[in-house]
Amino acid sequence: MASTINEFPSTGDEIRKSFLDFYERKAHKVIPSSSLIPEDPTVLLTIAGMLPFKSVFLGLKERPSERATSSQKCIRTNDIENVGITARHHTFFEMLGNFSFGDYFKEDAIKWAWELVTNVYNLDPKNIVVSIYYKDEESKAIWEKVVGVETSRIIKLDEKDNFWSSGPTGPCGPCSELYYDFHPERGTNNIDLEDDDRFIEFYNLVFMQHNRDINGNLTDLASKNIDTGMGLERMAQILQNKKNNYETDLIFPIIKKASEIANIDYQTSTDSKKTSLKILGDHTRAVIHLISDGVVASNLGRGYVLRRLLRRMIRHGRLLGVRKNFLMELAEVGIQMMKETYPELDINADRILKDIDIEELRFLETLERGEKLINEFLISGEKIMSGLKAFELYDTYGFPLELTKEILEENNIQIDLQGFEKEMDSQRERAKASSQNIDLTLKGSIERDIELFDKTIFNGYQSLNSLGKILGIFIDSNSVTNASEGQYVQMILDQTSFYGESGGQVGDVGVIISDNAEILIDKVIRKKGVFLHCGKVLKGVISLNQSVETKVDKFNRAKAEANHTATHLLQSALKIIVDKSVSQRGSLVAFNKLRFDFNASQPVSTVQIAEVETLVNKWIMENHPVVVKSMQKDDALEAGALAMFGEKYGDIVRVVDMPGVSMELCGGTHVQENIRIRLFQDYF
C-alpha cells in the first residue's frame, strides 16, 4: 500500500498539484480547467479531460503547445443511479491528464506514467496491473522490456475495453490502463479486472495513432497523439487507503456536514442512509460548479441536469429525516473546500447559494404533493403504476419522472414507461409547440469545403467600404467557379468590410460590386473565422479570383451599432438595479431591435424594469464616449472587463469601454458615443 508520510502526496490537493508539477517538469504546458459548458456544441456538458482539446486532436484548432497537462472538472450523469452505491461512480469528478499533440508517443507516455505512480505517488509495483489492447505488441514490449513490469501482470483486453475512438470514423487507437490491485496476495493466475473488490482502474493512456474510414479500414495518422486520464478521486482513494472515493478528503467533509444536519453518524448508519449521504456529497460538488459556470435550473438541457441533481438531493435529505432547507449549508462546505483550486466558486458564492435556496424552496412544495400521491399509490398494493398516473404526477403536480421511478423501484414496483411516453406524445400533439425556422445555408459540401479557407480579414471597424478578392463561390451549398444574374450565392472573400454574424450581432447587409457585376448581400455568416456573404446576383457574372468592392449599408450598420452598445449599458444597469451577479447568457443585436438573455434567480419586477430604463437613458443623455482598445486578456479582466460566458478568447482581446459605466470584451461594432443610441425604451 502507498505510503502516506508527508514526503509523498496524499491529500486531494497534493495529488492534483503533484500530477501537474510532474508533467510541467516534463515540458508540458499547464492548462487551466475549462468550463463545464463545453465549446463543442454537440456535447451538453464537459464529460472528459480531453474534450477541451477535441478540436486540436481533429486538426481544426491550433495546438496550445506540443505538450499539455490539466486537471479538468467533468460532469457525467449516464450512471447516476450508481452514484452512492458503488465505490467510485460520480456525477462530478476531476480528470488529471497529460497530452501530446504530435510530439512524444507510446514509450515516453508509458515511462512517465510509471515514473509518476511509483516515484511520485509511491505505489508499490506489486500493486499495479496493466491492461493493453490485445493486438498492441508494441505497448506490451515497452511495459515488459523498458519499464520492467512482470508479464503476468500485463493483461490483454479486446477492442471493447482497450481501443478508443472518437466515433465510427476518425482518429482512434489502442489504450493501456493502469489498475491498482488491493489484494496482490491473491496472485496473478486468472486475473479478472472486472472484480471491483480487488481492482480499480485509475490511469488510462490512449495512443491515438490511426484514422478509421467509413468502411472500417485503419490507416496511420501523420501526427500521432497521446491522450491520458487519471481520476483524481480514485487516486485519492488509493493513497488515503479508503474503502471508497466518498470517504476521501475530496468529498467526506460534505458528507460529515450532511450527517450533522440529519443528526446521524455516518459510520454506524444503515447502507441506505450511507447511500443518501454519499449522493449528497457527490451532487453538492456538481451543483456548485454547474451554477458557478452559469447553468440556471430549468426543464431543458443543462438546466434540467442541474434541477434533477438538486431535486435528488432534496429527496435524499428527506429520506434522512431532514425537513428544513439544508442545501445551502452543504454548498457552503463545498465552496470552502474547493475555492483555492477553483477561485470562481468564491467569486460566485452569493449567486450559487441564492440559486440553490430558491430552487429548494420551489421544489419542497412539489415534493410534498408528489410524495403524498405516491404514498397513496403504495398503500393501494398495486405492483405497476400506469403511464397515465405517472404522467399525471409529472404534468399536473410537477413531480419528475426520474424521482417517481426511483421511489417505485425502492419499493419493487414497476412503471409503465411506454404508457408515459404515449401520454407525453399526446400532450406534444395538443400543444404543438411553435416551430423553428432552420437556416440551411450551411449544408452539404460547404461544411467540408469551408475548412480549406483561411480566416477572412475583417476591415469593417475602420471603414464600411473595402476591396477584396473572391476565394470561393457556392450555389445551393455546392462549390462553383462562377455565378450569373438571378442566382443566389454564398461567397468567401479574402477580406471584407461586412460584419459576419457573431456574438449575437446580425451580419451586415449591402452590396458587393465589380466592374461588371453587382450582388445584393442580405446576410453574412461567420463560420470558424470564415465569412460567407449570402445574396443574389443582380447583374453580370462573378468568378473566382475576381476583385470586388464590399459596400456595407451604413443605415443598418448604424442601427446595429446603437443596439449593440445598448446591450452593454443594459447589462451594467441590470447589475446595479437587479443583482450584481446578473450576467449575459445570450443576445440578439438586430437592425430593428435587441434581445438580451441573462441569468436571474427571481423574476424582474415592473418597478425594476422602469428603473433600468431610466438609468440606461440617463447614461445615454450623459453621452459617455465609447473607447475601443486591444489589451492582454489577463490585463483586461484584472481591470474589470466583463467576458461573455462560454466565449473563447485569445491572449489579445478587444475591449469596449464606456469609462465609469461599462467595460466588456467584445468583437462587435459600436457607436462612438452614447448619444447616438438616442432613446432606450420598450426593450422588455
Is 6 within the bounds of a domain? Answer: no
Q: 662: which DSSP letter?
A: E
Share of the chain above pLDDT 90, in %: 62
Among residues 189, 219, 244, which one ends one of the domains? 244
The pLDDT value recorded for residue 6 is 46
> What does the alpha-carbon distance between residue 261 and residue 267 come to, in Å, rounded to a whole number?
15
The three-class DSSP label of residue 658 is strand
Beta strands in 555-674 (DSSP E): 584-589, 594-598, 627-632, 652-658, 662-665
The pLDDT value recorded for residue 193 is 94
Is 267 within the bounds of a domain? Answer: yes
Nearest C-alpha neighbor of 213 from the set 250, 170, 255: 170
Is 73 within the bounds of a domain? Answer: yes
369 burial type by CB count under 10 A (0-12 exposed, 13-18 middle, 19+ buried): middle
List, for residues 230-252, the tens digit of each pLDDT value: 999 999 999 999 999 999 999 99
The pLDDT value recorded for residue 166 is 62
The full DSSP string for 283-339 is: HHHHHHHHHHTT----SSHHHHHHHHHHHHHHHHHHHTT--S--HHHHHHHHHHHHT
Is 432 within the bounds of a domain? Answer: no
State the pLDDT confidence band at 683, using cuts at 50, 70 and 90. Answer: very low
Nearest C-alpha neighbor of 200 from the set 181, 175, 176: 181
The pLDDT value recorded for residue 431 is 46
What CATH number does residue 531 fall under?
A: 2.40.30.130
Q: Where are the alpha helices (DSSP H) in 36-81?
A: 54-57
Question: 131-140, 166-175, 242-251, 254-263 — which is least confidently predicted?
Answer: 166-175
3-state secondary structure 344-397: HHHHCHHHHHHHHHHHHHHHHHHHHHHHHHHHHHHHHCCCEECHHHHHHHHHCC
Phi, psi at 28, each rounded to 5°: -90, 140
Q: Where are the alpha helices (DSSP H) in 240-300?
A: 252-262, 271-292
* 24 and 170 co-located in one domain: yes
State the pLDDT confidence band at 435, using cuts at 50, 70 and 90. Answer: very low
List, for residues 572-596, the tens digit of each pLDDT value: 999 999 988 787 877 889 998 899 8
Whether the predicted pLDDT of 299 surpasses 80: no
Strands 414-415 and 384-385: parallel
Is 559 within the bounds of a domain? Answer: no
Which of 14-28, 59-73, 355-369, 433-447 tops mean pLDDT? 14-28
* 344 and 391 co-located in one domain: no
The three-class DSSP label of residue 34 is coil
The pLDDT value recorded for residue 432 is 38
pTM: 0.66
* 364 and 418 co-located in one domain: no
Q: 625: which DSSP letter?
A: B
The three-class DSSP label of residue 677 is helix
Nearest C-alpha neighbor of 682 from the set 608, 610, 576: 610
State the pLDDT confidence band at 341, using cuts at 50, 70 and 90. Answer: very high
* 347 and 417 co-located in one domain: no
Is 610 within the bounds of a domain? Answer: yes
Q: Mean pLDDT score of the chain, rounded to an integer?
A: 88
Nearest C-alpha neighbor of 499 from the set 472, 466, 454: 466
List, for residues 57-70, the tens digit of each pLDDT value: 766 678 888 999 99
Which of 211-220, 283-292, 646-655 tops mean pLDDT? 283-292
List, for residues 4-44, the tens digit of each pLDDT value: 334 788 999 999 999 999 999 999 999 999 999 987 777 78
> What does the alpha-carbon distance between residue 209 and residue 161 come to, in Å, rounded to a whole number?
17
Nearest C-alpha neighbor of 60 from the set 369, 452, 341: 452
What CATH number does residue 592 fall under?
A: 3.30.980.10
* 364 and 388 co-located in one domain: no
Rg for the chain (alpha carbons), in Å?
A: 29
In sequence order, which residues have a C-beta less than 8 Å from that of residue 132 and are 6 or more positions away? 139, 140, 143, 154, 155, 156, 157, 162, 174, 175, 176
The three cell numbers locating residue 330: 452543504
Judge contact between 493 and 516, C-beta under 8 A. Answer: no
* 75 and 155 co-located in one domain: yes
The pLDDT value recorded for residue 5 is 38
> What does the alpha-carbon distance between residue 595 and residue 560 come to, in Å, rounded to a whole number?
12
The pLDDT value recorded for residue 634 is 86
Task: Centre a 10 Å sphere on the Cβ of residue 420 and count the other Cβ atoms it contains.
Answer: 22
The residue that leads in pLDDT, 336 or 678, is 336
Output the CA–CA distances (angstroms, integers) from residue 489 to 439, 486, 510, in the order listed.
Answer: 15, 9, 14
Whether the predicted pLDDT of 681 surpasses 70: no
> What does the alpha-carbon distance between residue 52 and residue 157 come to, in Å, rounded to a whole number?
28
* 547 and 419 co-located in one domain: no
Q: 471: which DSSP letter?
A: E
The three cell numbers locating residue 121: 505517488
Q: Which helix (H) or strand (E) holds 212?
A: strand 199-212
Is 116 within the bounds of a domain? Answer: yes
The pLDDT value recorded for residue 645 is 61
455 burial type by CB count under 10 A (0-12 exposed, 13-18 middle, 19+ buried): exposed
Whether the predicted pLDDT of 564 surpasses 90: yes
The pLDDT value recorded for residue 508 is 96
Residues paired with 175 in a beta bridge = 206
Q: Return the biggest CA–CA distance within the chain.
A: 87
The residue that leads in pLDDT, 265 or 57, is 265
3-state secondary structure 156-192: EECHHHHEEECCCCEEEEEEEEEEEECCHHHCCCCCC
Expressed as residue numbers, the domain containing 598 is 578-677
Instruction: Give CA 478 to chain center in angstroms.
Output: 33
The three cell numbers locating residue 606: 415592473
* 540 and 647 co-located in one domain: no
* 191 and 303 co-located in one domain: no
List, for residues 150-189, the tens digit of each pLDDT value: 999 999 998 888 998 766 777 789 999 999 999 999 999 9
Q: 448: which DSSP letter?
A: H
Judge contact between 375 and 407, C-beta under 8 A. Answer: no
Whether the predicted pLDDT of 294 surpasses 80: yes
Strands 594-598 and 584-589: antiparallel
Q: Tally the domains of the chain.
A: 5
> What does the alpha-carbon distance between residue 628 and residue 642 come to, in Å, rounded to a whole number?
14
List, for residues 397-429, the tens digit of each pLDDT value: 767 787 888 889 888 999 999 999 888 777 666
* 485 and 394 co-located in one domain: no
Length of the chain counted residue by residue: 684
Is 435 within the bounds of a domain? Answer: no
* 465 and 605 co-located in one domain: no
List, for residues 461-475, the tens digit of each pLDDT value: 989 999 999 999 999
* 271 and 151 co-located in one domain: no
Share of the chain above pLDDT 70, in %: 93
The residue that leads in pLDDT, 349 or 55, is 349
